[in-house]
Structure formats: C-alpha cells, structure tokens
Chain A
Amino acid sequence: MARIYISLKKGVADPQGQTIKQALNDIGFSEVREIRVGKFFDVVLTEPINEPHKILEKISSEVLANPIIEEFSIEGIK
C-alpha cells in the first residue's frame, strides 16, 4: 500500500488552515503559528506490479492533485 499526500503549494492561500490556526490560538494554544490543510489517499495496487512508483506518480499528477495549486508526495510503498 502507498499513501499519497496532497498539499497546497507554498504561497497559495489556505483560509481553512488559517481559520483552524486562529481557533487553536483562541482556545489557548498560542504556540501554533501556522496550519496548512492537506489530504491523503491510501492506494492499494494489484500485485505483482512493475514500477508502482510510475503509476502512482501518474495518478497523482494527472488526477489526484491539481498541479496549478497543489503538490504531492508518495510514501510507503510495500
């Protein structure tokens, strides 16, 4: 199984993250300086499979992430 993380590119505003950060500050977690919200997908591929990385990169860049505002990383292929 692999996990694909999608996050907003640096410089793209994240009002949801800002709101959560503000709420945390308001309830006393003054240590929180910034929060950026992302999402992840757990993907299970059929086995055996050749070059799983290539497939995962392709579905990440072409489908799961919007390259205009998001970037992705892939971890934990078993």
Chain B
Amino acid sequence: MNFGVVTFPGSNCDYDSYRAVKDIIKQPVRFLWHKDTRFDDLDIIILPGGFSYGDYLRAGAIAKFSPVMGGVKAFADAGGYVLGICNGFQILTELGLLPGTLMRNNNLKFICKDVYLLVENNQTPFTNRYKKNQIVRLPIAHNEGNYYCDEKDLNYLKSYNGIVFRYCGPNGRITDGYNPNGSVESIAGIINEKGNVMGMMPHPERYVEGLLGGEDGAEIFKSIIDNFSKRKAS
C-alpha cells in the first residue's frame, strides 16, 4: 500500500507521520510537496499536523488553495483514502471534504496534553482495529480544535454514524469537563459519508510505540492496512 504525506510550508508532524508508516506498519511512503500535483501511484494521502502557511487568515484557509490540494480533492472524490490529522483536519473542513469547521479553543489557550477518546465508530477503514466504545489515549496539540457545525450538519453526521471519536474521561464518560476545547458534542474526529476521508484533532502518529508515550495511535495505521488487504482479497 503506497502512502503519501503532504508537506506544506509550516507542517511539523510530517516526519512523525512518515515514520509511523515506514517503521511501524512498514509500508512504502513518500513526501508530497505542497506544489506537487501528480500522485497516481498513491493509495492514501496523509495531511499532517502543523501550521500550514503560518495559519494565516485561518488555520487551513490558505492551504486549501495550494496546488497539491486540488489533486487531493480529486483523489478523494475518486475514492482515494485521505487522513487529516490536526491541521490536516482543519484543511479538510476548509476544503469542504468534511462538514463543519474548527474554531479557536473555548479557553483561548493552545492545549498540549494527552486526552482520552471514545471510539464511536469502529466500522471505518481507519478504525477497524479498535473495539466499539474502546477508550484510547492520544495527545492533542492545537489552538483551533473547537469543532463546530450547525444542527443540520450535526444531524447529517449522525445519520451515517460519521462521528468517529469523542473526547471522554478515563472511564469513557463524556462530559463538558472532559471536553478540552469546547467542541460540539465533544467531537474529536469525523469521517465523510463515503467513508474514505477522516479528520481528527488528536495525533495518532505521535503515539505509535511505547517509547514515545503510548501505542494507541498505531491501531489507526494498522487499520488502514487491514482494510486495504481485505478489500484487495475480496
């Protein structure tokens, strides 16, 4: 399975994502520069965390117009897999590949800490190795992670089980106290209706082995491989 990781000016989690693919699931992976427009060889594209174009105007607002994103949109529309992490999630909402938007954290602070997440949907190409309602621990590091959408989009998301992760406590309880940034219904990650584009604020690529502080993120990358092998076999 061929992976691509996009590097925008200001990306800073591109190497973590690259390494998670290369060393943990041991798949071929290459970087895409923000000006690249050809990537027919790829099966999945990761939009990594960071501060693309300095987060000028709004997080993800300039990145959506970059040459590479035109190609990523076409790639996703044709059914290609796209995973947006943190700034990547922000770019996907700006581009309209995912509903809603990510606003400034409601406590007005950059938050960098571990959080617990409830896996609401484990029937996706990105989360099939988790159990439903499994509690996982991943780090967040963002200033604009406050997921917002109107009621129409929220109902739309729920209609196809599009909410993949919610922030929760260590025991799985979902309360305002465990919602780090003010996100609507504690949403931490969502997937599109077609099931090939997922965005999440927490960083799975940072927790892919114990030495780094946690392993729960590795399951995302392993899920992608499992799904791909199954699809190929069928």
A residues with a Cβ closer than 8 A to B are 12-13, 15-16, 19, 63-64, 66, 68-69
Contact = CB atoms under 8 A, between A and B. Distances in A.
Given A13-B106, A15-B104, A16-B108, A66 B94 contact: yes
Main secondary structure of the interface of B (DSSP, over half): loop
A13 B57 contact: no
Query: Which of A16, A19, A64, A68 has most B Cβ within 10 Å?
Result: A68
16 contacts: A12-B103, A13-B106, A13-B182, A15-B107, A15-B108, A16-B104, A16-B108, A19-B108, A63-B57, A63-B61, A68-B100, A68-B101, A68-B149, A68-B150, A69-B103, A69-B148
A47 to B, nearest CB: 25
Contacts of A15: 104, 106-108, 182
B108 A66 contact: no
B48 to A, nearest CB: 22
A63 B103 CA distance: 16
Contacts, number: 28
B57 A64 contact: yes
Interface string B48-73: 00000000011001000100000000
Contact of B101 (A16, A19, A69): A69
Contacts of A63: 57, 61, 65
A19 B57 CA distance: 22
Contacts of A68: 100-101, 148-150
A66 B61 contact: yes
Interface string B86-115: 000000001000001101101110000000
Nearest to A41: B57
Closest 7 CB pairs of A and B: A68-B101, A15-B106, A15-B108, A66-B101, A69-B101, A66-B58, A16-B108
A57 to B, nearest CB: 17
Contacts of A19: 108
Nearest to B99: A68
B109 to A, nearest CB: 10
B120 to A, nearest CB: 22
